[in-house]
Amino acid sequence: MTIPILRASEHLHDVRYEIRGALARRAEQLERAGHEIVKLNIGNPGAFGFRMPESMRVAIVQNLHQADPYSHQKGIFAAREAVVMQQQDRGVMDVSADDVFIGNGVSELIMLAMRALLNPGDEVLVPSPDYPLWTASVVIHGARAVHYPCRPERGFVPDPAEVESLVSDRTRAIVVINPNNPAGAVYPRAALEALAGIAERRNLVLCADEIYDEMLQSILDLTRPGGRLHATRAAVLEAVGRSRWLSVVTPRGAMYAFIRVHAERLPGGVAGFDDQAFALDLLERKHVLVAPGSSFNVPYRDHFRVTLLPDAEQTADVFARIESLLDEYAAADTAHP
């Protein structure tokens, strides 16, 4: 029996979510052919040996006997109360459990929030670079994502004045991703207060994506000297520092690094370099899967994102493969003048 190809919804025509797109599908094909692929395209802690705290695992097991019925539509009350207490610890006092909705991760909550907020023709200010589901969810609901630049030369921190200049009578919300995925930037207090002020003055919803808010390079055991993420981050910075072709704005939070390829040093220059083609080449020839920078809604095509989850030894090996591929590009040009 032949299964017919179904017509996709027109809502999907302009939706891009390339982190799990063609490159990931090609990686699966290579794995089925017997190749071992180092997957740095998504932040998947379990795939790199990270485990949830034992206390959390025990609590889940002990609660299973109560898990048969539906929970409250907003989420389990105890979980919502825990969110309230966390916010009160941070000085947000005018919040109750009735104000809290629990979802299956930020990805589900992004879609629910945009569905509730947007009408066709509305606009949402989204950072560039962004976690691409923000842009995709805006588009899929018939609205327009207006990207405000978070430039590398500013450490990927936005300029609030530039953000406010993009507000129009169609703007409904400002998205703030802090710490930033993919760049690892952590916004200073002054920038955050300025963005909050814009939302307040212009009567906009402020969508604060803070999924990595406790994953800063200065506070957790994992990120301290001797911690797993600290060692990996150090390995990335060391490898990039030695590279002829790469540079990076030091990530201050989250679990990613956004690496620049200095295409002007390569054959063909900037015009001849494409991050998607490079990522495919890296996958095919070196069996490393990264996320091309243009997947994160930036106007340039000379970056790629890696996760900081592998151990330092594997990270060093990955960057040796990347350097080898870029060396091969240069050698090929020398061999064919």
pLDDT in tens, 64-90: 888 778 889 999 999 999 999 999 999
Those residues with Cβ within 8 angstroms of residue 161's Cβ, 6 or more apart along the chain or in another chain: none
Phi/psi for 142 (5° steps) reads 80, 10
Q: Above 80 in pLDDT, residue 224?
A: no
Q: Above 70 in pLDDT, residue 225?
A: no
Q: Above 90 in pLDDT, residue 47?
A: no
What average pLDDT does this structure show over 203-212?
96
Q: Above 60 in pLDDT, residue 41?
A: yes
Q: Above 50 in pLDDT, residue 107?
A: yes
What average pLDDT does this structure show over 46-64?
87
Cis check: omega of the bond before 158, within 30 degrees of 0 = no
> Which DSSP letter does residue 244 get?
S
Q: Which CATH code is given to the segment(s) 10-49+217-335?
A: 3.90.1150.10
What average pLDDT does this structure show over 146-162?
97
Coil, strand, or helix at residue 319? helix
Domain locations along the chain: 10-49+217-335, 103-209
pLDDT of residue 9: 80
For residue 28, the number of C-alpha atoms closer than 13 Å in the C-beta half-sphere is 6
Q: What is the pTM of this model?
A: 0.91
Segment 258-308, tens digit of pLDDT: 999 999 999 888 888 999 999 999 999 999 999 999 999 999 999 999 999
Q: Above 90 in pLDDT, residue 190?
A: yes
pLDDT of residue 217: 64
Q: Above 70 in pLDDT, residue 334?
A: no
| Among 59, 45, 186, residue whose Cα is nearest residue 105 | 45
- Do the domains at 10-49+217-335 and 103-209 have one common CATH topology? no
* CA geometry: angle 260, 263, 267, nearest 5 deg: 155
| Per-residue tokens: 50 | 């990270």
Q: Above 90 in pLDDT, residue 195?
A: yes
pLDDT above 70: percentage of residues in the chain: 95
pLDDT of residue 336: 47
Q: How far apart (Å, rounded) are the C-alpha atoms in residues 129 and 321?
A: 25
* 226 band by pLDDT with thresholds 50, 70 and 90: low
Kind of pairing between the strands at 171-177 and 205-209: parallel
Phi/psi for 156 (5° steps) reads 65, 25
Q: Are 282 and 325 contacting, i.e. CB atoms less than 8 angstroms apart?
A: yes
Q: Above 70 in pLDDT, residue 157?
A: yes
- Domain 103-209: top CATH class: alpha beta
